[in-house]
Amino acid sequence: MEFRDLKTQYLQNKEAIDSAIQNVLLSGHFIGGEPVQQLEEKLADYVGVKHCITCANGTDALQLSLMAWNIGEGDAVFVPDFTFFSTAEVIPLVKATPVFVDIDKDTFNLSAESLEKAIQNVLKNGKITPKAVIAVDLFGQPADFAEIRKITEKYKLLLLEDGAQGFGGRIKSKRACSFGDIATTSFFPAKPLGCYGDGGAVFTDNDEWAELIQSYKVHGKGADKYDNVRIGLNSRLDAIQAAVLLVKFKFFDREIALCNQVAEQYTDQLNSFIKAPVIRKDMISSWAQYTICFQNNKDRERAIRNLKQNGIPSAIYYQRPMHLQKAFSSCAEGSEFQCKVTESICSCCLSLPMHAYMDMDDITIISQILNGERK
């Protein structure tokens, strides 16, 4: 069994994908060009924002956004304690200070209440200046943007949406990657919309930031790539990846609908000792992960063992709170605020196989093993 079945996805769409790749090979244009431009137009339209700027990966997308906002030394950027490393990694990369914020125990997403406490703490300490909040659409569910927006407005902070796992999700009819002042996503193969290598994108309605990001991603270009007006990155999506994404985009919404059926099946079948993911009213998840919680780490370890004995993969996203990562020990604030919810979730969470090509019988088998009804 696959944790995320990219092989079946390919085999079911082999002709279209092969031919898209071959067209790029025949064109002889491997960087930029028609497929990249087409993809940017399609994705901007899908998300409902003015600009989509593709780049090399989701981490660069985050960094480019902070660069466009000129965030740097002395600036505080608030970030969930429970996320993939790169959400927070980009903050010290631009010389700003990450401040870790606790999460909601049901959605695993940034807690607006903890966010306000963290902001007030930073203001009280007076050492660094609050500038931006990064909210993550973790595991596919959009963050609580209604509440987070109130706080960013109250404290006049910029809001960056890390939609690496959330692409394709929605709040009512509004799509993920349209909630931040800038939003980013990743096309890493295992993400909801994945390519066959690395890729990422930035979304915004703001013309000035879009232009800055266009410059930063091409060595800080001015009039052209040999006129360099600022220090930037080399961060581009290549044509083969764009061509693959254009094919996969055609059945993307169908895949998300299928993932929602898988999630429903799991949630129906798991017993009450296991906490199923909570999706808030009006939210649609793109199900980057289906993540459950056990009563404790011991139960989790037993479950992992039992699954493994049956050839079923599972993964712990995430093992460790950001504030306990060694890399941040000298460059972060916030461990003193304590992220109790994150610590407890890290000790009991487990992500199960989740993709659009899952066999419904496999979901039953997995659930029975986890429920202790099957060896």
Ligand X SMILES: *Cc1c(COP(=O)(O)O)cnc(C)c1O
How many CB atoms are closer than 10 A to CB 236? 18
Judged by CB under 6 A, the residue of 9, 63, 111, 165 near ligand X is 165
- For the CA atoms of 275, 281, 286, 292, the dihedral, rounded to the nearest 10 degrees, stands at 0
Helices (H) and strands (E) in the chain, counts: 13, 12
Q: How far is the CB of 318 from ligand X (least distance, A)?
A: 10
Q: Cβ-closest residue to ligand X?
A: 58
Name residue 3's amino acid: F
CB 50 within 8 A of CB 205: yes
Judged by CB under 6 A, the residue of 40, 162, 238, 333 near ligand X is 162
Q: Is 136 in the site for ligand X (CB under 6 A)?
A: yes
Report the alpha-carbon angle 190-275-101, nearest 5: 70
CB 31 within 8 A of CB 236: yes
Judged by CB under 6 A, the residue of 54, 63, 65, 87 near ligand X is 87
- Comparing C-alpha atoms, which of 325, 280, 331, 272 is closest to residue 109? 280
Q: Is 57 in the site for ligand X (CB under 6 A)?
A: yes
d(CA 164, CA 185): 4
Judged by CB under 6 A, the residue of 63, 65, 86, 342 near ligand X is 86
CB 339 within 8 A of CB 321: yes
Q: Is the CB of 81 or the CB of 363 nearer to ligand X?
A: 81
Q: Is 58 in the site for ligand X (CB under 6 A)?
A: yes
Near ligand X by CB under 6 A, which window of 82-90, 112-120, 333-341, 355-363?
82-90
Near ligand X by CB under 6 A, which window of 54-62, 295-303, 307-315, 346-354?
54-62
Near ligand X by CB under 6 A, which window of 102-110, 159-167, 255-263, 356-364?
159-167
Residues 188-217 that bind ligand X (CB under 6 A): 188, 198, 200
d(CA 81, CA 241): 31
CB 190 within 8 A of CB 6: yes
Q: Is the CB of 191 or the CB of 370 nearer to ligand X?
A: 191
Q: How far is the CB of 298 from ligand X (least distance, A)?
A: 28
CB 108 within 8 A of CB 82: yes
Residue in the structure block whose two tokens are 């009039």: 223
- CA-atom Rg of the chain in angstroms: 21
Q: Is 186 in the site for ligand X (CB under 6 A)?
A: yes
Judged by CB under 6 A, the residue of 9, 54, 59, 97 near ligand X is 59
Near ligand X by CB under 6 A, which window of 27-35, 73-81, 162-170, 277-285?
162-170
Q: Is 303 in the site for ligand X (CB under 6 A)?
A: no
Interface with ligand X by CB under 6 A: which residues?
Answer: 57-59, 83-84, 86-87, 136, 162, 164-165, 186, 188, 198, 200
